[in-house]
Amino acid sequence: MGDRSSKQGLLAEFATVGKALGHPARLELVDLLSQGSRSVEHLAAEAALAMSTCSTHLQLLREAGLVQAHREGKRVYYSLTGDDVATLWDQLRTVAEAHRPQTGHAARVYLGPADTEVIGTDELRDRLERGDALVLDVRPEAEYAAGHLPGALHIPLGDLADRLGELPADQEIIAYCRGRYCVLAHDAVRLLTASGHDARRTSDGVLEWRLAGLPLVTDAA
């Protein structure tokens, strides 16, 4: 039978994981890595972190066993150590939603007003099977390449205003991005509807679909 000190040693292991997740910047890195493997340069740019700061946060996540690294030429790439880490991130958000009333307010401040129409995952799957809507991925190139919905058109949000002419005027456009708390699809739909397009955004994104086992394809595939 274990003594008190051995129990504390076990709890300390659990606490190490909790501590690693106890910083907004590290949570953002986990969120980005839930989309696929990324270089330190990409992560630093997307998270608006200095390279040295980003590397320090990644090292803490690595020491906690949540991420792993590999080198390709001169660049170091990081990835989550498993889908269970992405599940932990998703569950953390769910607990915050359920038990911290401030979470909803913070989400509204970040995502903006409820001025965009939403399509659920089940309806999205039906629309994909029927092929009667254009599905638009508005994430960065590296994230699209790592995994996207079959048949999705890719236009990063930053390029969308200049490429509106490539989109059909007589077909509904359904935009998606990283997940429930990704602002990219919200902003894409605002831009599309302002330009006269019929557009909605998905309620979920790649994180939720990956965890649910929905089929995603990669550029390599």
Active site residues: 177
Nearest-10 Cα torsion for 70, 73, 76, 77: -60
Nearest to 206 by CA among 157, 139, 159: 139
Spatial separation of the C-alpha atoms in residues 21 and 174, rounded to whole Å: 32
Q: Which tokens hold the place of 102?
A: 């401030």
| Cβ atoms 138, 155 nearer than 8 A | yes
Spatial separation of the C-alpha atoms in residues 91 and 83, rounded to whole Å: 12
Nearest to 149 by CA among 127, 172, 182, 181: 127
Give 199: exposed, middle or buried? Use CB within 10 Å, 0-12, 13-18, 19+: buried
Within its chain, how far is the Cα of 30 from the centroid? 9
**Cα within 13 Å of Cα(166), Cβ side:** 10
| Cβ atoms 97, 103 nearer than 8 A | yes
Spatial separation of the C-alpha atoms in residues 39 and 43, rounded to whole Å: 6
